[in-house]
Amino acid sequence: MSRVTAAEQRARGFGESSSGVWCADAGPAMVARLARLGFDWLCLDTQHGVYSRTEIINVARSFPSGSAQLVVRVPSCDFVAIGAALDAGARAVIVPQIESAADAQRAVAASFYPPVGGRSWGQLGGIWGGATLTAEAANGSITCAVMIESANALLRAEEIAAVDGVDQLFIGPYDLSLSLGTTVQALLDDDSESSALGRIVQVASAYGRTVGGFTGTPELADRFRERGITCLAVATDLWVTSEGARAALRLGTGAG
């Protein structure tokens, strides 16, 4: 079973029935605005997004308290990168390309202080007047989500989900469909017993983990929700700005 219940994860903002915005390019001021708009969580994508460690810190420094939960998708299953994101103040990490129980164990070891893992002490929040959590409070409040996004990960979903400390299986539909030789639409359309998405949801539930995923648009998010996946990145920073501009032009030119 999970260290934390689904209800506890939900209460933190990044859990079942939550809507996040995924940022790949927005700078600190735009991130702060997005964080106040009502999303449950905001994820900085440091795998495919533009952010260096300094930029993660700059975002975290001006991240508004009492707003969305700050989540970081780290670049890889790397001890230093996971620790750096959490030290900056992320309350959850999404760790990409998890292929095995050994990978998941590495993600957990980097995410939690002893005795759960081997995270190194050095939170930065105190520098800018933010929170410094005790090791116990950090271990009790950080969410470690591991990404299932390959045929291998799908095959080994049980052993990955069984790792103590894994809180959530997070689906990367684009890499997963590439790895399976299919498309995101076809992944969503397959509602057979043996479907990839069905298998992930079923394994997560069997091991008491929540399940989340990247979608990037509200329309795609609806399709994931229909499949029982409800911790979703429902928009990106790019989607918010381009759709906002489209709406303004439509309405502002009297065409709306």
Single residue of 39, 41, 113, 214 touching ligand 3PY by CB under 6 A: 214
Q: Are 20 and 233 in contact (CB under 8 A)?
A: yes
Q: Is 48 a catalytic residue?
A: yes
**Per CB under 6 A, 174 contacts ligand 3PY:** yes
CB of 97 to ligand 3PY, least distance (A): 8
Strand 168-171 to strand 18-23: parallel, antiparallel, or no bridges (unpaired)? unpaired
Read out DSSP for 3-51? Answer: SS-HHHHHHHTSSTTEEEEEESS--HHHHHHHHTTT-SEEEEETTTSS-
Applying CB under 5 A, the residues found at the interface with Mg ion are 149, 172, 175
For ligand 3PY, which stretch binds (CB under 6 A), given 58-66, 105-113, 154-162, 173-181? 173-181
**Coil/strand/helix, residue 210:** strand
Which one is catalytic: 48, 121, 222, 247? 48
Nearer to ligand 3PY, 89 or 96 (CB): 96
Q: Are 16 and 147 in contact (CB under 8 A)?
A: no
CB of 120 to ligand 3PY, least distance (A): 27
What distance in Å separates the CA atoms of residue 20 and residue 38, rounded to the nearest whole number? 9
Single residue of 175, 207, 217, 238 touching ligand 3PY by CB under 6 A: 175
Nearer to ligand 3PY, 83 or 172 (CB): 172
Place of tokens 């998941």: 104
CB of 46 to ligand 3PY, least distance (A): 11
**Coil/strand/helix, residue 76:** coil
**Per CB under 6 A, 16 contacts ligand 3PY:** no
**Per CB under 6 A, 149 contacts ligand 3PY:** yes
CB of 45 to ligand 3PY, least distance (A): 6
Q: Say if residue 212 is exposed, middle or buried (CB neighbours under 10 Å; 0-12, 13-18, 19+).
A: buried
What distance in Å separates the CA atoms of residue 117 and residue 106, rounded to the nearest whole number? 9
Single residue of 15, 20, 83, 173 touching ligand 3PY by CB under 6 A: 173
Q: Give residues in contact with ligand 3PY (CB under 6 A).
A: 149, 172-175, 214
**Which residue numbers are catalytic?**
48
